[in-house]
Amino acid sequence: MLISFCVSLQWNETIELFRSNMPLRKHRSHFKSYERCFTASEAVDWLHVLLRHSQNFGPEVTRKQTVQLLKKFLKNHVIEDIKGRWGQEDFEDNRHLYRFPPSSPLKPYPKRSPHQASVIRFPDWTHEPPGTSQENIPVRPIVMNSESWYKRHSIAIGEVPACRLVYRRQLTEANVEEIWKSMTLSHLQKILDLDSLEEVLDTKLVNSKFIIHNVYSVSKQGVVILTDKSKELPHWVLSAMKCLANWPNCSDLKHPMYSGFEKDVFKTIADYYGHLKEPLLTFQLFDAFVSVLGLLQKEKIAIEAFQICCLLLPPENRRKLQLLIRMMVKICLNKEMPPLCDGLGTRTLMVQTFSRCILCSKDEVDLDELLAARLVTFLMDNHQEILQAPSSLQNSIEERVAHLRRVQFQKSYPEVYQERFPTPESEALIFPEKSKPKPQLLMWALKKPFQPFQRTRSFRM
């Protein structure tokens, strides 16, 4: 899987930088000296700075997340305590001494299995569907008389053209859905530069109805409109989100009932999203979204890739994601919002609170918390572009569908099509080009041109 390759690469790069640059020195513990080691707090300080300045993770990484990563380092024998113990996640931010083991436990890169791209076939207008051939048409026996005999005889010698049943091919709704799915996945595969999308997602589980709904069933603000209202956010959650997004101009409550009211409202929203059975970006699309993180250095390409990945979401997930990200951004930009957490910035609080309900893996993955925080940060910075349908993809698919419908109409009704959409050759037959009249020869052109007055010798003496 591509995601395993990307995560292993980032894991190994972080370990190599940590082992090669972490300062080591002599420490004393219990009246004994230990060479080339470091305290837990020193490791947290140094690794926290490294992660915050890394393009893969970004400045939103918290100290708590750095401690969680060091716990995984201790569990996977990237570090050990001064007595050589490792294998448990009992790392804490304190003065306990640790050191590097003699060998570097880098993870092997998984081999990519070859995949063949599955091509979705479009409707073929040249072949008739089974059961519609001329031989299968039931014919009522006709009593032969002189008139009918004459008609058959005339057809046989070519005087009267024979009638032929023409099967009218239609571009069905299922055909249109397959076109949307095929072209959307093909565009995503091209952006990610993959031989096959099977490396990052199971294309058989992609629902074409979700794509079409996310493109067309939207409000003026671009938020998805759900057909099934039972999948809508609970009213109390939606009211709480509107309250914080428009603080202090809350439409439902004119004034807070008590001091710290906004903190309780925020906790209510966080509890709801924290108890979702599945993250908003779904377990199925985890690999696809994480694979796009490798493109963040190319911002425009990453935005387009995220746009397409978000189109694959169930409409109810996409709507919840849109409302949540908009609320988070408004809270961060609201200067009148009181601090929602003591000792933690508002933006960091938003990322730390909602990152796992937006993106996480079904199985434990190294660096999953840091990757989720990086993705949420990028979503917040570019939410207006990412959470709208890519216009270029939409236009190309609509042109493709319109073209296939014209082809269908042309093959079903060639004469009508020729009348409505004439070719240059047919127009020339109907409207022959008229000879251009020669310009008339003006009579004054034949006359001697006007000669200007020439001054002669004066008669004056």
**pLDDT tens per residue, range 323-344:** 999 999 999 999 999 999 888 8
**Residue holding tokens 């309900």?**
357
The pLDDT of residue 407: 80
Residue partners of 37: CB distance under 8 A and separation at least 6: 24, 25, 26, 27, 82, 97, 98, 99
- Please tell me the predicted confidence (pLDDT) of residue 240: 92
Residue 385: exposed, middle, or buried by beta-carbon count in 10 A (0-12, 13-18, 19+)?
Answer: middle
Residue 110 has pLDDT above 50, yes or no: no
Among residues 274, 369, 325, the alpha carbon closest in space to that of 70 is found at 369
Question: What's the confidence (pLDDT) of residue 276?
Answer: 93
Mean pLDDT value of segment 208-230: 94
pLDDT at 451 over 80: no
- Tens digit of pLDDT for each residue in 123-177? 454 445 555 444 444 445 555 566 665 555 555 555 545 455 445 557 789 999 9
Q: At residue 88, does pLDDT exceed 50?
A: yes
Give the C-alpha separation, 248 to 269, whole Å.
17
Distant-in-sequence, close-in-space partners of 35: CB < 8 Å, separation ≥ 6: 26
Give me the pLDDT at residue 12, please: 82
Amino acid identity of residue 58, one-letter, is: G
Q: Are 360 and 376 in contact (CB under 8 A)?
A: no
Specify the pLDDT at position 247: 87
The C-alpha angle 173, 174, 179, rounded to 5 degrees, equals 100
Q: Tell me how far apart the alpha carbons of residues 209 and 227 are, in angstroms, rounded to a whole number.
A: 12
Q: Kindly list the distances between the CA atom of residue 359 and the CA atoms of 111, 284, 380, 460, in Å, as whole numbers in the listed order.
A: 25, 11, 14, 110
Report which of residues 10 and 409 the model is more confident about: 10
pLDDT, position 115: 47
Residue 141 or 234, more confident: 234
Arithmetic mean of pLDDT over the chain: 80
pLDDT at residue number 356:
92
Q: What is the pLDDT of residue 102?
A: 85
pLDDT digits (tens, 9 = 90+) for 174-203: 999 999 999 999 999 999 888 888 888 899
pTM, rounded to two decimals:
0.72
Give the C-alpha separation, 338 to 239, whole Å.
19
Instruction: Kindly report, residue by residue over 279-308, the tens digit of the pLDDT.
Output: 999 999 998 998 898 888 889 999 999 999
Q: Is the pLDDT of residue 72 over 70?
A: yes
Most confident among 55-69, 358-372, 384-398 (mean pLDDT) = 384-398
Maximum Cα–Cα distance for the chain, whole Å? 138
CA angle centred on 157, ends 151 and 163, rounded to 5°: 55
The ranges assigned to domains in the chain are 9-99, 173-394
Flag the least confident range among 24-33, 35-44, 168-177. Answer: 168-177
For residue 130, cis peptide bond before it (omega within 30 degrees of 0): no
* Share of residues in the chain with pLDDT > 70 (%): 70
Q: Would you say residue 217 has pLDDT above 90?
A: yes
173-394 fold: Phosphatidylinositol 3-kinase; Chain A (1.10.555)
What's the mean pLDDT in 256-276?
A: 89
Mean pLDDT, residues 92-110 taken together: 79
In terms of DSSP bridges, do strands 25-29 and 97-99 run parallel, antiparallel, or are they unpaired?
unpaired
Enter the tokens of residue 47: 């690794």
- Residue 146 confidence (pLDDT): 61
Lowest mean pLDDT among 97-101, 141-145, 154-158, 314-318: 154-158
Cα 8–chain centre separation: 24
pLDDT digits (tens, 9 = 90+) for 42-70: 999 999 999 888 877 888 788 888 998 89
Q: Is the pLDDT score of 120 beyond 60?
A: no
| Domain range 9-99, its CATH number among 3.40.1010.10, 1.10.10.10, 1.10.1060.10, 3.30.420.40 | 1.10.10.10
